[in-house]
Amino acid sequence: MSKHWDSIVLGLVVCLALGTMIFIPSCANTTTPPSGGPKDTIPPVIVKVQPLSGATNVPRKGTKLKLTFNEYVVIKEKNNIYLSPPLEKKPTSRISEKSLIVSFEGQLDSAKTYVLDLTGAIADNNEGNPFPGFTLVFSTGERIDSMVMSGTVLDNETLKPVEGATVMLYKDHSDSAIFKKRPDAACKTDVWGYFCLRNIQDTLYRLYAIQDNGSNNIYDADADKIAFIDSLIQPRIIVNDSLPQIQKYDLKDTLACLARPSEHELFLFKETSSKQMIVNKERVGERTAYITFMAPNARIDSIWFKGIPSKKLIRQFNAKKDSLELWINDPKPQSDTLFLNVDYWKTDTTGRLAKTLETIKLIKPRAVKMAAKKSKKDIKKEDTTCVITTDAKPEFIEQNGFILEFKYPLIEDGWDSLKLIAMNPKQQKSKMKFKIEKDSLNLRRFVIRPSGKFQEGYEYTLKIPHRRFRDINGFYNDSLDVKVSLPKDEKASSLTLKISGTRGKTYIVDLMDEKIAKIQRSFTIHQDKELLFPYLKAGNYAVRITEDANGNGLIDTGCLLEHRQPEKVRLYKLKDGNHLLKVDEKTDIEQDIDLNVIFDENSIHEAKDTAVVAPVAAPDSTLVGR
């Protein structure tokens, strides 16, 4: 027994020693991380559906849809579990093991085709790999509706695709239907603004899209944006499994997503409010305030400050006449509290405009009060000066001239004291004649334009002498020299747009950056014309064109009940559908743009592609390209 025990002990010692030898090196190697295998990048896959897609005679009450996956999943975005036509209450959804269970409160309609879409709703539980989507079609009747309709929803001003817009079809053709009823079919747009209404009836519809901020599938004019097709439409395509419209794509696959057929383009806009009232007011300075209205074209019969003569009040509406700036033309300190009386036309409880007198209390801002208590050493120069801001960028000077904007309205001006000096490359100076243009919408903004043409190699200086302008605060201006010369970047390029098809209408032509977020240059034209955009840096540009029907320089909104679309805003597109013009270094590009093509709704994707690219001539060359 003793020998047997000794053998066991010896065996344990040997095993312990071997284990230590094996274990120590592996622990000591702290620079090598543990390997967990390759990361899972495969999205979940549906392995079972109950009832099957295409099922008929599905029970109207107590219906549950069960979709089982090959792995554990989570609901990533519950609002993306969308049923068409929508019910009064949204579907309820939960996860049970590897299954998604969707159920409905109340009864489904009889003999109705329903479409449940899961795009963007599900992801796997471990790595969060998104499930590309699935559409389950079923009917409470004997048959499945078989038509399909597709399109794209864009923002009317930015022309960017609108994600998450609700696209709706109505068999009720009355104007009031969208305000009172849920649609007969609906779906959500994806990140490309694309929609596909599938398994719908073969009948006439009204087509709308809304930005449904109330998430109730009913249009609220005060809160939602809207787009609509003003004519009745009927689906033309029958659903089949090979249609690209109904496929589920990787939304990062730009080429595939943009290649999907789009039958309709809807342009989303915010309707002008039908209610008129003062919605905001603020005193922003010692003698400066503003009020804003809910709707444009505010009608004011009279307006005055209590205790201040009306002749001392300066006022200015913006272009839409829904915001009013006010200044008191009196350099004396004003009361901490001012009372503004506004006699205007306000919407009453019956929805009609009625003459109303409203008194507004305006309190002096704390910052203004503190500024009045500053010691002399803390007072900044701009606190006691008529402030002038200038805009004279070299690349814009030929088109825009010298722009001067005063911080406050002027009560004295000395335009005849200004001088515009041109200095040639030999340092010889000469005076230039110029004209002064007052901005029609901003009484503090002026443009100085030389009578002659700007020339390359010259330097131009606008001289504003000391104490020639006085503002409502009683302050005078400092002297100011604004210098500018044409750009000398030899790598710069130019773009010439040859515009045709104006037909006597007014158009606003904007050269935009690649993201269509910032206007680089802008022209307003009333006839066929060549527009030159010089001094362009290499890059991609977009051309945005607005059909300015009333010539007010604004993109006017539409009205659903008046069947009036917003003013049309479109991007110029090349033959391949691309809206970006590539500008390389040292190139001059000429582009023909036919407005008849761009604003023809039947051929909105078509455009003439007649770009002519020529190399920029060297400074000492006689090559004609510019």
> Does residue 58 share a domain with residue 131?
yes
Is this model's pTM higher than 0.85 or not?
no
Please name the residue that has the structure tokens 């006597």: 504
> Does residue 468 share a domain with residue 537?
no
Averaged pLDDT, 494-499: 96
Q: Domain of 301: which CATH number?
A: 2.60.40
Of the pLDDT bands very low, low, confident and very high (cuts 50, 70, 90), residue 412 is: very high
Predicted pLDDT at 373 = 66
421 part of a folded domain: yes
> Does residue 390 share a domain with residue 351?
no
Rounded to an integer, what distance in angstroms lies between the CA atom of residue 192 and that of residue 250? 12
Highest-pLDDT range among 9-13, 122-126, 414-418:
414-418
- 460: which residues sit within 8 A by CB, 6+ positions away? 397, 420, 421, 422, 423, 432, 450, 454, 483, 484, 485
> Does residue 361 share a domain with residue 314?
yes
Last residue of a domain, one of 371, 396, 428: 371
> Does residue 165 share a domain with residue 128?
no
What distances in angstroms separate CA 27 from CA 81, 341, 445, one per listed residue? 49, 83, 75
Averaged pLDDT, 46-58: 95
397 part of a folded domain: yes
Summarised one tens digit per residue, pLDDT across range 77-91 is 998 999 999 999 999
588 part of a folded domain: yes
> Does residue 62 share a domain with residue 102?
yes
227 pLDDT above the threshold of 90: yes
Q: Which of 423, 430, 415 lies closest to 460, judged by CA?
A: 423
Averaged pLDDT, 212-241: 95
472 part of a folded domain: yes
Q: Domain of 243: which CATH number?
A: 2.60.40.10
Last residue of a domain, one of 120, 139, 158: 139
203 part of a folded domain: yes
Tokens of 497: 């747009």
36 pLDDT above the threshold of 70: no
> Does residue 520 share a domain with residue 609?
yes
Averaged pLDDT, 279-286: 95
Neighbours of 389 (CB within 10 A): 11
Predicted pLDDT at 466 = 96
Averaged pLDDT, 460-488: 95
Averaged pLDDT, 39-51: 89
Q: Domain of 79: which CATH number?
A: 2.60.40.1220
- 532: which residues sit within 8 A by CB, 6+ positions away? 494, 495, 496
Rounded to an integer, what distance in angstroms lies between the CA atom of residue 382 and that of residue 46? 68
What distances in angstroms separate CA 222 from CA 164, 316, 346, 349, one per listed residue? 19, 27, 17, 16
Last residue of a domain, one of 139, 170, 198: 139
Rounded to an integer, what distance in angstroms lies between the CA atom of residue 609 and that of residue 598? 12
Q: What H or E segment, with its residue span, contains residue 94?
A: strand 92-96
> Does residue 600 share a domain with residue 558?
yes
11 part of a folded domain: no
- 525: which residues sit within 8 A by CB, 6+ positions away? 499, 502, 506, 507, 509, 531
Of the pLDDT bands very low, low, confident and very high (cuts 50, 70, 90), residue 603 is: very low
- 502: which residues sit within 8 A by CB, 6+ positions away? 525, 526, 527, 528, 529, 595
- Identify the weakest region by mean pLDDT among 38-47, 223-232, 413-422, 450-459: 38-47
Predicted pLDDT at 616 = 40
Tally of structural domains, the chain: 5
Of the pLDDT bands very low, low, confident and very high (cuts 50, 70, 90), residue 611 is: very low
24 pLDDT above the threshold of 90: no
625 part of a folded domain: no
Neighbours of 617 (CB within 10 A): 14
Domain that includes residue 252, residue range: 147-268
- 193: which residues sit within 8 A by CB, 6+ positions away? 152, 153, 154, 160, 161, 162, 163, 165
Mean pLDDT of the chain: 88
> Does residue 438 share a domain with residue 360?
no
> Does residue 192 share a domain with residue 122?
no
> Does residue 509 share a domain with residue 462?
no
Rounded to an integer, what distance in angstroms lies between the CA atom of residue 367 and that of residue 364? 8
Of the pLDDT bands very low, low, confident and very high (cuts 50, 70, 90), residue 41 is: confident
> Does residue 541 share a domain with residue 440?
no
Predicted pLDDT at 93 = 95
DSSP H helix total and E strand total for the chain:
6, 43
Averaged pLDDT, 394-412: 95
220 part of a folded domain: yes
